[in-house]
Structure 1
């Protein structure tokens, strides 16, 4: 699958976010599609099946579901009223089917609503068939065990920088900063998950306590190692300054965080639990 096709169709603007299994969200990236054959195949399957599905925008009720009345003012339109009331034009039309032409002083019914993108289950092309088939195909290509201990290679610094290379230098830095931030959040979540897994480990309490203590120490030592290693990686920029140095540092942080998270998941993936 061409990378530009991936960027265009998996950008979230064509409804792919509605049918892509949650286990794959965030895992298929421009870099991984380019460098990892399994990801390229998954993206291709997703693209082909996505073409079978129809998605559209529909009004969804807000937390406040009461129906109330408003009075039309001079210069009002359904669009203007919808924006002012936190509703949608479709909702106003549904509640006021005879309000074809608005008049000043006219009373309309209104209800809070927002537009939400949904898969059309009634349209042609059997959208739900596509959704189900997509889940089956992608799940078949992503074994359940892979969710706990993935064998997919972690993108290195070079691959991460390449993924963000479509932007300007400032945009590239922002892209890498986001990757570093996300990797840090993911690592913290993994550390918490591993700690919970150890608590359920089917071993004597003293061994569980020892393992949890070692995990805490390991997490602290990793953070120190990462900071020193990424400072070294930044120094390899030579005379580079500003964004160039930052980008090396951010890519290094993202890579090492992702590798650490993968190592932690692998370490506890086969522990016998209570």
Structure 2
């Protein structure tokens, strides 16, 4: 019987960077590549969530972006890469793992990666899923007035950094009844301890070049697309998810009740079921 647990982390040389990659499940199954949001390492795609997807017959790939986790870090404030480079990282991981076409799941800011993949590299994408993302249109509602981030911590004080990450996660949960502070604190502590340079993690994704596809926009995505959005999202309120659904031909929307700008464990069942249906070609 094939194990659906992790095959272990490994460092791969991809496009001039070391990227830490971990896989779950059977390589013969359809591949799902999970692209985390800004300042988020692979750990924010929880290992148990990855296992739940893998046991449903999917080969799951999660990885650390540049400037997160065990992957290559650059000096804080000086990331020498753009959205296009991060998209090339996804393709490089697919190449290294022998994945010709992947079902790509992109979260938050790095929905921009999914956009570039879908428009400029359609031959490498079997489907797209956007989680807590947006078209970025000017007429969409701004973040909630209640969205107030804590003061930046002393990066030399690990406990203060963990507290900052937990406070930020709680803010982005938008008052969700599903937010669990203890579990978030444990994850944040692991993330901070594991990182090469958490000072770079806190800064660099927010100052990269936000370039886009060269062959079109959201309306030119041909891959089957699922949009997933929490109805408590305070950073990108639900109209952002609806607008993204409307911008992509044939896209479907899954609204996660009680979820904020995250994927809390309470909604994993709905998310996994929809993702499994979506990645076998059926509509959710």
Whether TM-score is above 0.5 comes out as no
**TM-score normalised to structure 2 length:** 0.23
Flag the structure with higher strand content.
2
The structure that has the greater radius of gyration is 1
**TM-score normalised to structure 1 length:** 0.24
Flag the structure with higher helix content.
1
